[in-house]
Structure 1
Amino acid sequence: MGAIRPVRIEDSKELLGIYNYYVVNSIVTFDLEPLTLREFEEKVRTIITSYPFIVFEEEGIILGYAYASKWRKKPAYNFTVESTVYVRQDAHGKQIGSKLYAELLRLLKQGSCHVVIGGLTLPNEASVKLHEKFGFEKVAHFKAVGLKFGRWLDVGFWQLQLDKETV
């Protein structure tokens, strides 16, 4: 069945294992070298001071995680966040990404978030479908902006406006 709960710093090692798999084996992240536990713990600490960070756990094993983070530094962007979702490589097909995204968006709606941005390395059909399932719309496509595994890669941005009202 599984459950979603807030992240804890002590989850970092398990989360790092999920993330570093994608660093080494895929184009979905533009990190080129695996992160260290210390780097990942610092990342978690930084995010949880301002944004939701959740995990999906089943029988004591973390199968995925999701969080929001700062979109850009200038203060006018304070109501826009970037979303991130990772599912353990051997846990796909169980709707874990959808469950995490639904909860992350619920938490963001409770706060002061106005817009959520999903940045995706392309091609990535599964992630495109996930974002569009939740109402995200493609708003940008940058061609050949990242180089990984000897390939130039595109990046697309999907946007979801959580509320249609102005402040």
Structure 2
Amino acid sequence: MIRVRPARTDDAVAIAAVYAPYVTDGVISFELDPPDAAEMARRMAAGGARHPWLVAEEDGHVLGYAYASAFRTRAAYDWAVETTVYLADDAQGRGVGRALYEELLARLTKAGFTQAVAIIALPNDPSVRLHERLGFALVGVNPAIGWKHDRWIDVGIWQRALAVLEEPRPFPA
């Protein structure tokens, strides 16, 4: 049975292993060198309580992870969040990405965020399908914005409302 739970520091090794092929073998991630477990643990800690990291596991094996990060650093963007999901090869097509994202979006909504933004290197049909099934809509494309593996890569921007827009309340300190 697949279980989604908050990521722990001891998940950093598995998270780094899930992520590494996205860095080395393709253009889905724009990083050029895969971060090690220590760097992943640092990123998880930097998210704090406001920007959760989740893992999906089955029989103690991490199948994938999802997390939120600040969309932009200026204060006017405080109610928007960027979301990301990565899956191990053996988790593809099993509903793991959807389970991770549903839990992440629920937590972000409860926390008071109003918009979720996903940045997707194109083409990436599986990610586009996942996001659109979860209510994200394409709001723009940055053509030829990244250079990796000797080619230019377009990036699509998908957005989903998490709450009815009204005057937001401040986040707790």
Task: Give TM-score scaled by structure 1 length.
Answer: 0.97
| Distance across 1 between alignment mates of 2:39 and 2:8 | 15
| Distance across 1 between alignment mates of 2:6 and 2:37 | 19
The answer to whether 1:127 aligns with 2:127 is: yes
Deviation at 1:165, TM superposition (A): 2.7
Task: Give TM-score scaled by structure 2 length.
Answer: 0.94
Deviation at 1:38, TM superposition (A): 2.0
| Distance across 2 between alignment mates of 1:16 and 1:73 | 25
Matching residue's letter, 2:22 = Y
- Structure 2 SS opposite 1:146: strand
Q: Which residue of 1 aligns with 2:10?
A: 10
Deviation at 1:48, TM superposition (A): 2.9
- Equivalenced residues, count: 167
Deviation at 1:19, TM superposition (A): 0.6
Q: How does 1:7-156 map to 2 (within 5 A)?
A: 7-156=7-156
Identity of aligned residues (%): 38
Contact 2:15–2:62 (Cα < 8 Å) also in 1: yes
Consecutive aligned runs of 4 or more in structure 1 exceeding 3 Å deviation: none
Matching residue's letter, 1:87 = L
Gaps of 5+ in 2: 168-173
Deviation at 1:49, TM superposition (A): 3.8
Q: Please list the CA deviations of residues 32-60 of structure 1 after superposition, one character each: whole Å capped at 9, or x if unmatched.
A: 11112222111111013421211101000
